[in-house]
């Protein structure tokens, strides 16, 4: 009986299933006679991220029943050693048919393109270029994205053609623009300049095109300066043929020049602050003129062009609601430039005009002005408190701040200005002492927190980087913007670079988590550019 019991026990051990979390369990089943078992093995190895199985999975690309699943698995598991097998598996004969075989072949080509893009091996360029001309849109999109990942310079002509193709799907155009930026060759600049101003099916490509040009860096500066000054005959001919308004061109060229921060562009941008659009309709002319001026002011602010501060100041006006955006952009630019003498002029302009614009320029003054302006703010608040109830209530209503009791309207209005004394009082206490400003990043008042971020950035305070990175994730956009600007300024401080590299993963994680959140779109575009700067330190 004992030998029989032992044999039975050994039999049970032999039949016991192997560990499902052990890749060896599934690698051993890749050559099983049952195709369902082989498919399951490939899928499980992908889930387990078992890169050691990539060579065996690549062999299954020759198996018609496993080809698509194998290509999908190699998106995550493949490496340079699997490139040849993936290239051999591309089906260049398939059309856009709706039959089962054509759909399966296109799905497989799509997976292969994604796998090759993830691997990023330049050998894949020619095959991906062929797939970019596929009759299946999904295959084209995957191939175009992959061409950027493998940095295929031979694809620039094809990708540029896609950007200019009026029949191309918007998503394909977006991927082509991103790919051109990733490839990083100056020969892509004409297509990317077109991408700044074109629309397809109501879709703008400004975010992708401006970022791609930013990635190209210095090579894009002179071409954009020429475009902004009507000195590029080829672009002028294209713009005329495609009915692109000059104002849009000037504004978007200014946007990118501001990102690139090349001082050669300052005179060009200053000239655009005086732009007057020739549209015969006065309202349209004003709108287009302000569009160019606001982007020029914003660019000069990003460049911290002190010499341009008076010209930017000249754009600020509180008299007309049509000037709200240009005034907001210009006042913010003055904060970034940091010429404190301009804050007094902003405070002077805050004395009269439309309430919303007055508050905008007063807040900007409070973000960088000398402490003595605190007295002006309090005087202004006291004056508002003595206004007529009817006038105060009307102005608050314009701010979408209706008051239940009209008797409180003037006090509430006065408070809107009076609160701005807080950042100026903080400036009186802290002056240029970074150790004093650092805890004020936790202040209950958002304008104080924003001012603290700006002051720490101006002071080159490397010790504040961790706190500024945290502030760059605040819900309050005013503080986010200030913290991001401060971190950007610190990138030019050698002593700050190790700490900046240390917070780069945190900022990258924030960008990934907030992708698609509209309320942070503008702030996170700046954060993306900061990420690029940090990666180049």
Give one DSSP letter per residue of 264-291, joined into a string: GGHHHHHHHTT-----SSHHHHHHHHHH
Structure tokens at 124: 């894949």
Which residue(s) pair with 203 in the sheet? 200
> What is the distance between the alpha carbons of residues 10 and 207, in angstroms, rounded to a whole number?
66
Return the pLDDT at 3: 54
> What is the distance between the alpha carbons of residues 485 and 367, in angstroms, rounded to a whole number?
13
C-beta atoms surrounding 443 within 10 Å: 18
Distances (CA, A) of 67 to 42, 46, 56, 60, 128: 10, 14, 12, 6, 18
First to last CA, the chain: 76
Return the pLDDT at 522: 86
Q: Report pTM.
A: 0.91
Structure tokens at 297: 């002011």
- What does the domain layout of the chain look like in residue ranges? 22-150, 432-537
**CA nearest neighbour of 119 among 67, 80, 84:** 80
For the chain, give the number of residues: 537
Q: Using DSSP, how many helices (H) and how many strands (E) does the chain show?
A: 32, 2
Return the pLDDT at 317: 98
Return the pLDDT at 393: 87
Give one DSSP letter per residue of 157-186, joined into a string: HHHHHHHH-TTS-HHHHHHHHHHHHHHT-G
Which of 353-368 are b and which e, b meaning 16 or more Cβ less than 10 Å from the residue's Cβ?
Answer: bbbbbbbbbbbbbbbb
List, in sequence order, the alpha helices (H) in 48-124: 54-59, 67-77, 83-89, 100-119
Which residue(s) pair with 199 in the sheet? 204
Cα–Cα–Cα angle for 128, 129, 135, nearest 5°?
90
Domain covering 22-150, topology: 1.25.10
Q: Tell me if residue 455 falls in helix, strand or coil.
A: helix
Give one DSSP letter per residue of 308-341, joined into a string: GHHHHHTT--SS-GGGHHHHHHHHHHHHHH--TH
Return the pLDDT at 93: 86
CATH architecture of 432-537: Alpha Horseshoe (1.25)
Which residue(s) pair with 204 in the sheet? 199
Return the pLDDT at 96: 64
Query: Which residues, 6 or more positions from 296, have their beta carbon under 8 angstroms from its beta carbon?
Result: 250, 251, 254, 269, 270, 272, 273, 275
Structure tokens at 230: 């009507």
- The tens place of each residue's pLDDT in the chain, 537 residues long, gives 455 554 544 444 444 456 788 999 999 999 999 999 999 999 999 999 999 999 999 999 999 999 999 999 999 999 999 999 999 999 988 876 668 888 999 999 999 999 999 999 999 999 999 999 999 999 999 999 999 999 999 999 999 999 999 999 999 999 999 999 999 999 999 999 999 999 999 999 999 999 999 999 999 999 999 999 999 999 999 999 999 999 999 999 999 999 999 999 999 999 999 999 999 999 999 999 999 999 999 999 999 999 999 999 999 999 999 999 999 999 999 999 999 999 999 999 999 999 999 999 999 999 999 999 999 999 999 998 888 888 888 888 878 887 778 888 889 889 999 999 999 999 999 999 999 999 999 999 999 999 999 999 999 999 999 999 999 999 999 999 999 999 999 999 999 999 999 999 999 999 999 988 888 888 899 999 999 999 988
């Amino acid at each position: 009986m004992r030998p029989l019991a032992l044999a039975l026990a050994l039999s049970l051990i032999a039949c016991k299933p192997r560990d499902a979390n052990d890749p060896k369990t599934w690698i051993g089943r890749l050559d099983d006679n049952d195709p369902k078992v082989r498919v399951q093995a490939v899928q499980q190895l992908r889930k387990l991220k078992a890169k050691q199985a990539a060579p065996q999975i690549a062999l299954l690309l020759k198996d018609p029943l496993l080809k698509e699943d194998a290509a999908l698995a190699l998106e995550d598991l493949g490496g340079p050693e699997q490139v040849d097998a993936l290239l051999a598996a591309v089906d260049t004969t398939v059309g856009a048919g709706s039959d089962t075989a054509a759909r399966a072949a296109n799905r497989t080509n799509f997976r292969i393109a994604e796998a090759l893009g993830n691997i990023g091996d330049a050998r894949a360029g020619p095959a991906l270029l062929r797939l970019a001309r596929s009759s299946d849109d999904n295959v084209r999109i995957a191939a175009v994205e992959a061409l950027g990942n493998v940095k295929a310079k031979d694809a620039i002509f094809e990708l540029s053609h896609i950007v200019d193709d009026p029949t191309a799907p918007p998503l394909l155009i977006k991927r082509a623009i991103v790919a051109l930026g990733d490839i990083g060759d100056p020969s892509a600049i004409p297509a990317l300049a077109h991408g700044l101003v074109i629309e397809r099916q109501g879709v703008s490509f400004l975010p992708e095109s401006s970022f791609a040009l930013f990635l190209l860096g210095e090579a894009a500066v002179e071409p954009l300066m020429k475009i902004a000054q009507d000195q590029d005959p080829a672009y002028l001919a294209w713009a005329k043929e495609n009915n692109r308004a000059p104002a849009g061109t000037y504004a978007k060229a200014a946007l990118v020049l501001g990102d690139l921060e090349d001082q050669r562009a300052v005179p060009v941008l200053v000239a655009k602050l005086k732009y007057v659009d020739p549209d015969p309709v006065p309202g349209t002319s004003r709108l287009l003129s302000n569009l160019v001026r606001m982007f020029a002011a914003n660019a000069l602010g990003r460049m911290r062009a002190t010499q341009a501060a008076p010209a930017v100041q000249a754009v600020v006006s509180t008299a007309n609601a049509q000037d709200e955006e240009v005034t907001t952009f210009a006042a913010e630019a003055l904060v970034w430039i940091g010429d404190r003498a301009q804050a007094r002029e902003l405070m002077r302009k805050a004395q009269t005009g439309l309430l919303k614009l007055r508050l905008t320029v007063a807040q900007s003054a409070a973000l960088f002005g000398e402490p003595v302006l605190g007295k002006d703010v309090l005087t202004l608040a006291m004056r508002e408190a003595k206004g007529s109830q009817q006038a105060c209530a009307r102005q608050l209503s314009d701010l979408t701040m209706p008051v239940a009791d009209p008797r409180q309207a003037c006090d509430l209005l006065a408070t809107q200005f009076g609160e701005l004394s807080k950042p100026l009082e903080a400036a009186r206490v802290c002056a240029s002492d970074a150790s004093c400003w650092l805890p004020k990043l936790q202040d209950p008042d958002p304008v104080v927190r924003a001012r603290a971020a700006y002051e720490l950035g101006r002071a080159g305070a490397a010790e504040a980087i961790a706190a500024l990175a945290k502030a760059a994730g605040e819900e309050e956009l005013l503080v986010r913007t200030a913290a991001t600007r401060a971190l950007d300024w610190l990138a030019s401080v050698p002593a700050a670079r190790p700490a900046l590299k240390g917070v780069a993963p945190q900022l990258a994680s924030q960008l990934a988590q907030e992708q698609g959140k509209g309320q942070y779109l503008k702030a996170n575009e700046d954060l993306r550019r900061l990420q690029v700067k940090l990666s180049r330190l």
